[in-house]
């Protein structure tokens, strides 16, 4: 007979810390040169997420992939993330897609963001997530060469036009969503639901906002049966229904960005509460315990 500890699974909550105007869907309408003139809302939204995790019915440690542009403007926010017991990781500097940069540009971006965050928190930054999951085999090689321990950029859902691709080993580590790409470097993919040969996006973001809470929790339970770990992602702006509207954006982009912002914070709290019997770890801790 299995003990309760045998049934304990792992939840990896991850947050890509960027502001509402930095998303890929709005790049056509909001040039980089205008970023500093935009209303900055990322600090308050991130603090709200930290408060939500602090008030959870179980101990929650999460990973925050912080954009360098944000870190330069809110160094105290980066330090507060760490001081509250969470992991600070890199989301690059200026939200450029990996495959739109030259190898040298990407190398500089990865190095700058890592050094910037390490100077702020005083410890090594272990992880990286590519903007819009735009990882490639060439990019992953550079991520490793720069000195990261892990990447968490691979999203197996193939129908999204911006997601990159990655050649992964055929075997996972102990039925976990963890792949050893070398003896010192690992990939933690975002979790999706697999039904037969079909992959359904279930890792978070807009898909999380679209799905009813009860249905999403059913899928998470199934993923935990298959892989013993669920990797979730979202952004601070996804709990902010009061953010400015980009009316000139295409209707589909507006729908994807603004759908159900009013309910996402409560939905996240329900997700955590529904899995309080499981362990909420940082990505770095997860790798340390399972490599």
Residue with structure tokens 């601070």?
236
Measured CA to CA, the distance from residue 28 to residue 219 in angstroms comes to 34
Measured CA to CA, the distance from residue 92 to residue 51 in angstroms comes to 25
Measured CA to CA, the distance from residue 210 to residue 227 in angstroms comes to 24
Contact, 227 vs 177, CB < 8 A? yes
Q: What is the pLDDT along the chain (291 residues), one digit of tens a residue?
A: 344 444 789 999 999 999 999 999 999 999 999 999 999 999 999 999 999 999 999 999 999 999 999 999 999 999 999 999 999 999 999 999 999 999 999 999 999 999 999 999 999 999 999 999 999 999 999 999 999 999 999 998 865 668 888 999 988 777 898 999 999 999 999 999 988 888 999 999 999 999 999 999 999 999 999 889 999 999 999 999 999 999 999 999 999 999 999 999 999 999 999 999 999 999 999 999 998
Measured CA to CA, the distance from residue 35 to residue 70 in angstroms comes to 11
**In this structure, which CATH number among 2.60.120.960, 3.30.230.70, 2.60.120.340, 3.20.20.370 belongs to the domain 8-290?**
3.20.20.370
Query: What's the pLDDT score for residue 3?
Result: 42
Read off the DSSP letter of residue 236. G
Contact, 235 vs 16, CB < 8 A? yes
Measured CA to CA, the distance from residue 95 to residue 69 in angstroms comes to 9
Query: What's the pLDDT score for residue 175?
Result: 80
Helices (H), the chain: 42-54, 68-73, 75-83, 103-121, 137-146, 205-210, 213-227, 251-258, 264-274, 283-290
Q: Would you say how long the chain is, in residues?
A: 291
Measured CA to CA, the distance from residue 194 to residue 67 in angstroms comes to 30
Query: What's the pLDDT score for residue 173?
Result: 79
Measured in degrees and rounded to the nearest 5, phi and psi for residue 195 equal -120, 105
Side-chain half-sphere exposure of 156, counting CA atoms within 13 A: 18
Q: Is 248 exposed, middle or buried (0-12, 13-18, 19+ CB in 10 A)?
A: exposed
Helix (H) or strand (E) holding 10: strand 10-17
Give the chain's end-to-end CA distance (angstroms, integer).
27
Closest of 137, 140, 156, 289 to residue 226, by C-alpha: 156
Query: What's the pLDDT score for residue 161?
Result: 60
Q: Which two tokens stand for residue 104?
A: 């040298």
């Amino acid at each position: 007979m299995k003990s309760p500890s045998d049934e304990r699974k792992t939840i990896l909550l991850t947050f890509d810390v960027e502001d509402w105007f930095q998303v890929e869907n709005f790049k056509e309408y909001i040039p980089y040169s205008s970023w500093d003139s935009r209303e900055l809302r990322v600090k308050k939204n991130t603090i709200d997420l930290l408060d939500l995790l602090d008030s959870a019915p179980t101990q929650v440690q999460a990973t925050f992939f912080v954009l360098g542009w944000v870190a330069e403007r809110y160094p105290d926010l980066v330090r507060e993330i760490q001081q509250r017991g969470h992991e600070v990781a890199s989301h690059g500097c200026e939200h450029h897609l990996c495959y739109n940069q030259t190898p040298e540009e990407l190398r500089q971006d990865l190095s700058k963001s890592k050094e910037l965050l390490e100077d702020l928190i005083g410890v090594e930054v272990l992880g990286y997530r590519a903007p819009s999951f735009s990882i490639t085999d060439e990019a992953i090689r550079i991520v490793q060469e720069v000195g990261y321990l892990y990447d968490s950029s691979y999203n197996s859902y193939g129908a999204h036009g911006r997601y990159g691709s990655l050649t992964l080993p055929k075997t996972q580590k102990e039925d976990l969503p963890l792949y050893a790409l070398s003896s010192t470097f690992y990939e933690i993919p975002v979790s999706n639901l697999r039904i037969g040969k079909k992959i359904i996006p279930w890792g978070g973001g807009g898909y999380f906002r679209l799905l009813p809470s009860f249905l999403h929790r059913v899928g998470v339970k199934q993923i935990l049966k298959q892989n013993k770990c669920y990797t979730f992602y979202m952004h601070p702006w996804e709990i902010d229904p009061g953010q400015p509207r980009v009316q000139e954006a295409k209707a589909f982009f507006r729908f994807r960005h603004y759908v159900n912002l009013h309910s996402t914070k409560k939905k996240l709290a329900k997700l955590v509460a529904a899995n309080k019997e499981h362990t909420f770890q940082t990505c770095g801790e997860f790798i340390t315990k399972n490599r």
